[in-house]
Structure 1
């Protein structure tokens, strides 16, 4: 009888230990409080460093996060002195040829809004440069001249590299747009609704946490310039389940909540925000989830993302009327559906 109870207790203990380990209970227990203890390398106020770089000076501390990758292609879309209203950055994968063509026929048309100067480029990583996919991609790049390819492995966990390399290209080659839309290639986008949103007179600028007369504030030079980081904002916690694709250890991120962040599917930044975020990223350690990383950078430089309910991180059910004020909706994997919806909305 004792042996029976012994095995019974052992079985229960094993189940408890398994649940404790599988669900990351200890990680939840030992997480630090975000509101009281948040810090992230560089473990210092980086706003003075960002300010120095943006003023063309050498910062007191060297950058810690410069990605060692190259642009394999370039574009002359921003080589003129004209001021752009909007630059659209589309994050895409090498093999998504049909999606790119669908975008070129819809919101990627640069002359779709009369009186507005809009430019669109696709940003993409690389893999085997001698593969049939790359050969087809080379032909596409020669035909359309709208793809920036970079020499890092294109994978899900390298999305932060793709995003920040895109920021670098904009900072170095295209800093003359009023606004920048970053979007995945499976989104429905209304450029008209987006421009109406960012140009709304009531929308002056993003709340800036450091804007209290601090001499080190990154915005003091241009108090009248809009600083916008907007999209669908999440306030959530790290996933500690060890089987999850989004599992994060305490060593990677020890806090119980993420900073507020915009979902990476689609978001818009103003010109100055783009420059602040890029320079800030030079002083913020890499993190493998791009939307979380941008949230961390925003927190470090003192920017608070603005939630816009017209950005949908999920696929909003379509009807002609319900999409009239939509800026972005996720889930358009079928280019034919994107073309149909976009044509219907733009025929109104």
Structure 2
């Protein structure tokens, strides 16, 4: 018989409609909290869990600080806004009831989207689908989306430089090819090719042969990816025809494949961290865009 989490996934995989318990409908309109600045150049969508208060606060104080961010090397910058994506934590489980704390946090920061489904590892894919739906409704004019976990460290200024460069190249391409309506289909991360499903029943990533055969399509692994908002809206459309898959990174790879696209690899996305001796050296991070995994304390230290 299948492990518990797989059984639970199969039972609910046909369901994609979950209501929002906490919503920020005016997040990108510029009138509430946006300081009148309108849609962001970069919308940070961070997958978090109810209990991870410290992670969220560390991100708000460091790399996910909302506001105008200047590029690291160029003077070009843009508006960055950060949102946290949460499911429901059942207080019946092994968790203290932190619902009131979450409501207070949201009153203060107004940056949490919470949906009415149980927040489990195999439900992370739902956050992508539901976030794309939210993006289409409430923030379609953001230029780029960074989607990541709440235990990564991002060099936001360096990421802005990279995105400006890609945006400029895209605009040149439009001029030279006379395609004024060409959309930028950017999807970048630490790309993994020819990965095989994990067939060990005792592991977190176990996928039985009966559920998926063969190698996975190219996908960007762990920690975080950045994609253009135009592509996010195409992914939303195509995802409605792609069967849900329990591993979120792989599912994004499946959706890209269905669109006839492939994720681009960038060596600055360090899913598996820097070599141990370099981790405490600020200069070792010069070519890094993202590094996985950092505690809230480490985020604050690195940011300084």
TM-score, with length taken from structure 2: 0.81
For the Cα contact (< 8 Å) 2:27–2:138, is it kept in 1? no
Alignment partner of 1:156 is 2:121: yes
Alignment partner of 1:190 is 2:146: no
Structure exhibiting the larger radius of gyration computed from Cα positions? 1
Distance 1:281 1:204, change over 3 A: farther
Q: Which of 1 and 2 has higher RCO (CA within 8 Å, sep 6+)?
A: 1
Superposed CA RMSD: 2.2
Other-structure match for 1:199: 164
Superimposed CA distance per residue, residues 208-264 of structure 1 (whole angstroms, 9 cap, x where no aligned partner): xxxxxxxxxxxx9932x3210100001111112233322212221122x11000114
Superimposed CA distance per residue, residues 31-85 of structure 1 (whole angstroms, 9 cap, x where no aligned partner): xxxxxxxxxxxxxxxxxxxxxxxxxxxxxxxxx9661201112112212483421
Shift of 1:120: 0.8
- Give the distance between the partners of 1:94 and 1:249, measured in 2 at CA: 30
Bigger share in strand: 2
**Secondary structure in 2 matching 1:321:** helix
For the Cα contact (< 8 Å) 2:78–2:160, is it kept in 1? no
Unaligned runs of 5+ in 1: 1-63, 206-219, 344-348
- Give the distance between the partners of 2:203 and 2:283, measured in 1 at CA: 38
Shift of 1:288: 0.5
Other-structure match for 1:180: 145
Choose the corresponding residue for 1:239, options 198, 202, 222: 198
For the Cα contact (< 8 Å) 1:180–1:268, is it kept in 2? yes
Task: Name the count of aligned residue pairs.
Answer: 263
Other-structure match for 1:329: 291
For the Cα contact (< 8 Å) 1:128–1:134, is it kept in 2? no
Shift of 1:325: 2.2
Other-structure match for 2:59: 103
Distance 1:148 1:201, change over 3 A: closer
Alignment partner of 1:89 is 2:45: yes
Superimposed CA distance per residue, residues 78-122 of structure 1 (whole angstroms, 9 cap, x where no aligned partner): 124834211000100100001111001101211251451111111
- Give the distance between the partners of 1:133 and 1:202, measured in 2 at CA: 42
